[in-house]
A and B are shown apart, each in its own frame.
Chain A
Amino acid sequence: MAEITEVSKQKSVSLSDRQKDIIQKFAALGSLFVLIAVFSFTSSAFFTIDNGMTVALQVTSIALLGIGATCVIITGGIDLSVGSVLALSGVVAALAVKDYGTPVWLGMMIGILTGAICGWINGFVVTRLRLPPFIATLGMMLIARGVALQITGARAVSGLGESFGELGNGSFLRVVNIGEDGFPTVVFPGIPYPVILMVVIAVAVSFMLNRSVLGRHIYAVGSNPDAARLSGVNVSRIVSFTYVLSGTLAGLTGCVLMSRLVTAQPNEGVMYELDAIASAVIGGTSLIGGVGTISGTAIGAFVIGILRNGLNMNGVSAFTQQIIIGLVILVTVWIDQLRNRR
């Protein structure tokens, strides 16, 4: 008798668990659709291919940083340094091209490598010096920003040449008709390279998390670091990897952003780390660790991007936007808490 009741209790619990999971996923995705519907209604320019591409482009930086943040947060850590690291990486890439005459691709590789090194240092400080991730990456946030301002003398690096702007401004499958009057008309704006980059990386990291041993270990470390260690998982290496990944993606984001502006700004990316963390959290990543998906983070990044874009188009002030996004974060995390409370 006791066993039967126990089993039935388990079943009912697991069912409501699944329901809660679905509700959570649906809540984020559903609110995304609601946002799109509302903005389409209030602004005729919102639901167009052009604006769609604009939103996608705007979302890339949040999403790329959010993907890194998701992996770090799944292990139970946090990375506050990505906004500064992207600035440092961007200016390093620009300086390499401008002052040392490296080819653009090599300059950008150096920029991305800079991000990776910052991430490696974060990982070292967290796993070897055993500082709390919040402190370790707070330090890196200040250091990377300081270095970026120092090496540029706090001035923007411009005059980088047209090829530097290719990554950020070019697009794939762009169809342009040159009319008889000689003016081009854009038939299809094409898919911007940054958007392609975002999709490829999101798919790759998602694959890594779900299908590879590495991904399994990332979840295991976040779920229970002691159990993971006692099961033979190299916890330090796994944690370090996530910081390196986050730093590398910050470096890439920096190159993309600077390329789009064709100018490297040492003050670029301030507070981007918070957007990245917010997108992960809105997408259901738990700050306690062990839980999180890339699809969720992508939805979270789009929620933030569409909110900004749609509110802009409706003439809502930047201040009000901040208030609204803040409320969205509170409400989604509250829903997440409800889901986990039992």
Chain B
Amino acid sequence: MESRPTEHHGSVPGIATTATRGVPASSTEFLLRLDNISKEFPGVRALSNVHFDLRRGEVHAVCGENGAGKSTLMKIISGVYQPSGGTIIYKGEERQFSSTRESEAAGIAIIHQELNLVPHLSVAENIYLAREPRRGFLVDRKKLRADAKRCLDRLGVDINPDAPVRGLSVAQCQMVEIAKALSLDAEVLIMDEPTSSLTEQETRLLFKVIRDLKASGVGIVYISHRLDEMAEIVDRVTVLRDGRYIATDDFGATSIDAIVSKMVGRSLEEKFPDRTSVPSDEIILSAEGLSRAGVFRNVSFTLRRGEILGFAGLMGAGRTEVARAIFGADPLDAGKVTLHGQALSITSPRDAIAAGIAYLSEDRKAQGLAIKMPVDVNMTLANMEAVSNRFGLIDFGKHATAAKEYIDLLNIRTPSIKQPVRLLSGGNQQKIIIGKWLFRKSKVLFFDEPTRGIDVGAKLAIYRIMDELAAEGIGVVLISSELPEILGMTDRVAVFHQGRITGVLETKKTDQEEIMRYASGYGRRDGERHG
């Protein structure tokens, strides 16, 4: 397709205004400024007194661990959430956006990590979705196509506006989203993990587009876990931690190390029980060369008796996927799993459960519990053989005894064994799932984000249970995105980055910074480009 780089400016509605704005003159004024922003959800304070500002023509990165409040902040800027306190000043005026429609109309566009395009419509139709140029009752297809083409040409990308979106690559979809944002007269563009599924080459193209947008005066809020890439495009960086504002620095005046230590903080005053179990040399579970195309490759680790092994890494690094594959919930392309010296051949969760492997899913409600059914039913579901006779009839006496035993053992608060589990708190629900696997006499338990959405007291109880299980000789793997949890509970930690284990560290000899470096693919200190 021909491209006409000289015709970009002036012809596309909206882009004309941003393109002609003088960058140097306005670069010091704030395009967007947030002061003392707080956001409370029932029982949780997601943000407290956060500051953020954005100038025209700059790329401002927002960094923080999972759960630091980045997404909440972006949702407040884009009008999905309304702040509980604080002020938003946009183009010199105090504003309050009550919906994304309002923020879009004002010129703030967001490109989500999961792209929001309609696969069966064409590129042009997606760009102008719900805003199609009309001629009477009909869509003016000629104008639609021409406008879309101008938007795409402006980005210098070669995408056919008539092509259906379902045939495009992720990178191309992203370009379509950017074109859509520009067609909305966007002056502020929020990009959430834009490079997370791009190849090196596609990332180059994206960065080129970002630089062009900067030059035309668009302010870009850039969220990414990939600190290594930021040096190329980022001007300033703001760090959030636990919903609090930590600092804003010029990117050139700081280092990756400094950013990471601000992200993780120094405080380790979390409440963790003292570990009582002592790892022995006896290996319970070993995995060798596990691979699944496009998800993880060549993953190997061992789990020893009495040990809690951590799986650390960013979301999507392959931790959950490896656990699910070992459990037989997803297929494995290659690799060998050995339990107590015996090679396993697992093709379904049933095989894994029969072998003594259990997996506590990160999403309790969607995958862990039959939420409408009572406590006792959920508790015994994985081990019905133990509470039924050889004719497959349930022995309700044994059934109730088993449920009560684990309710007492795990101190589960429920009015009765017949209480539907959806009426229990998150902590008690998690304990029921643990009880289910203990009743099954599992030998290895994978805990996937076991304390997510659970209050502090219940967290401590779950940690104690994990420690006791390890002390009894059960192999425990803790998958967690919370580094304090990994450091507080594990003996060793396997760090995942993009589907590989980049390092297995002794928990006592490591710290959050080192784990974060491995998790972002940096590895050892001498492998850095920054600092």
B283 interfacial by beta-carbon distance below 8 Å: no
Q: How far is the CB of B424 from chain A (nearest CB, A)?
A: 8
The segment out of A33-41, A95-103, A206-214, A276-284 that lies at the interface is A206-214
A14, B419: Cβ atoms under 8 Å?
Answer: yes
A6→B350 contact, CB < 8 A: no
B423 with A229: CB separation less than 8 A: no
Complex formed: what's the CA distance from A234 to B347 in Å?
12
Please report whether the interface of chain A is mostly helix, strand, loop or mixed according to DSSP: helix
What residue in chain A is nearest B440 (Cβ atoms)? A232
Interface stretch, picked from B44-52, B376-384, B464-472, is B376-384
Q: In the assembled complex, which residues on chain A have CB atoms less than 8 Å from the CB atom of B372?
A: 223, 290-291
Q: Known contacts being A11-B415, A13-B423, A14-B415, is A229 close to B349, with CB within 8 Å?
A: yes
Residues of A close to B115: CB separation below 8 A: none
When the two chains form the complex, which single residue of B359, B367, B373, B436 contacts A223, counting CB atoms closer than 8 Å? B373
In the complex where A10-B423, A14-B419, A229-B349 touch, is A223 in contact with B371 (Cβ < 8 A)?
yes
CB closest chain-B residue, reference A223: B370
| Contact of B373 with A232 in the complex, beta carbons under 8 Å | no
Q: Is the CB of B329 closer than 8 A to any CB of chain A? A: yes
Range, interface on chain B = 20 to 34
| A228 at interface, CB cutoff 8 A | yes
* Complex-state Cα separation, A217 to B394, whole angstroms: 12
Q: Are A224 and B370 in contact (CB under 8 A)?
A: yes
Tell me if A227 counts as interface (CB < 8 A to partner B).
yes
Interface string of A216-238 (1 = CB under 8 A from B): 11011001101111111110000
The total of Cβ contacts below 8 Å across the A-B interface reads 86
Given A13-B423, A230-B359, A232-B350, the answer on whether A214 and B370 have CB atoms closer than 8 Å is no
- Return the contact of A290 from the options B349, B353, B367, B370 (Cβ within 8 A): B370
Q: Is B388 an interface residue (CB 8 A)?
A: yes
Sorting the interface of chain A by its residue count into under 10, 10 to 19, 20 to 34 or 35 or more gives 20 to 34
A69 to B327, CA, bound (A): 34
Cβ-based interface call for B493 (8 A): no
Against A, the Cβ 8 Å flags (1 = close, 0 = not) of B352-385 are 0110000101000011111111000100011011
The answer on a CB contact under 8 Å between B423 and A216 is: no
CB distance from A282 to the nearest CB of B (A): 20
B residues within 8 A CB of A230?
A: 327, 329, 349, 359, 361, 367-368
The answer to whether B382 and A14 have CB atoms under 8 Å apart is no
With A14-B423, A213-B384 already in contact, the answer to whether A231 and B373 are too (CB < 8 A) is no
B419–A232 CB distance below 8 A:
no
Q: A216 contacts which chain B residues (CB < 8 A)?
A: 377, 381, 384, 394
Query: What separation, in Å, do the CA atoms of A212 and B385 have in the docked complex?
Result: 11
- Asked if residues A10 and B415 are in contact (CB atoms below 8 Å), the reply is yes
Q: Smallest distance from the beta carbon of A97 to chain B beta carbons, Å?
A: 35
Are A231 and B382 within 8 A (Cβ)? yes
Flag whether B392 is at the interface (Cβ < 8 A).
yes
Kindly list chain B residues whose C-beta atoms are within 8 Å of the C-beta of A226: 366-367
Task: Please classify the interface of chain B as helix (H, G, I), strand (E, B), loop, or mixed, using the class held by over half of its residues.
Answer: mixed
Q: Is B138 interfacial (CB-CB < 8 Å)?
A: no
Q: Is B425 an interface residue (CB 8 A)?
A: yes
In whole angstroms, how far apart are the Cα atoms of A219 and B327 in the complex?
23
B349 contacts A231, C-beta separation under 8 Å: yes
Instruction: Say yes or no: A211 contacts B371, CB within 8 Å.
Output: no
CB-CB under 8 A from A229, the residues of chain B are 329, 348-349
B1 at the binding interface (Cβ < 8 Å):
no
> Would you give the shortest CB distance from A289 to chain B, in whole angstroms?
10
The smallest C-beta distance from A12 to any residue of chain B, in angstroms, reads 11
* Cβ of B432 to closest chain A Cβ, rounded Å: 11
Evaluate whether A213 and B392 lie within 8 angstroms (CB atoms) in the complex, with A223-B370, A226-B367 already known: yes
Q: B293 at interface (Cβ–Cβ under 8 A)?
A: no
8 Å CB contacts to B: which residues of A287-330?
A: 290-291
A290 in contact with B373 given A212-B393, A216-B394, A229-B329 (CB within 8 Å): yes
Q: How far is the CA of A214 from the CA of B327 in the complex (A)?
A: 23
A226 to chain B, nearest CB (A): 5
Q: How far is the CB of B435 from chain A (nearest CB, A)?
A: 12
In the complex, which residues of chain B have a beta carbon less than 8 angstroms from the beta carbon of A233? Answer: 350, 381
Docked-complex contact A220 and B393, CB < 8 angstroms = no
> Given contacts A13-B423, A231-B349, A232-B349, are A220 and B381 in contact (CB under 8 A)?
yes
Tell me the bound Cα distance from A223 to B369 in angstroms: 9
Asked if B373 contacts A220 (CB within 8 A), the reply is: yes
Contacts of B329 in A (CB 8 A): 229-230
Q: Which residues of B pack against A, CB within 8 Å?
A: 327, 329, 348-350, 353-354, 359, 361, 366-373, 377, 381-382, 384-385, 388, 392-394, 413, 415, 419-420, 423-425, 436
Q: Which 9 A-B pairs have the closest CB atoms?
A: A223-B370, A232-B353, A231-B382, A213-B384, A231-B381, A232-B350, A226-B367, A224-B370, A213-B392
Known: A217-B384, A220-B377, A224-B369. 18 other contacts (CB 8 A): A7-B415, A10-B424, A14-B419, A14-B420, A213-B384, A213-B388, A216-B377, A216-B394, A219-B373, A226-B366, A227-B368, A228-B381, A230-B368, A232-B349, A233-B350, A234-B348, A290-B370, A290-B373
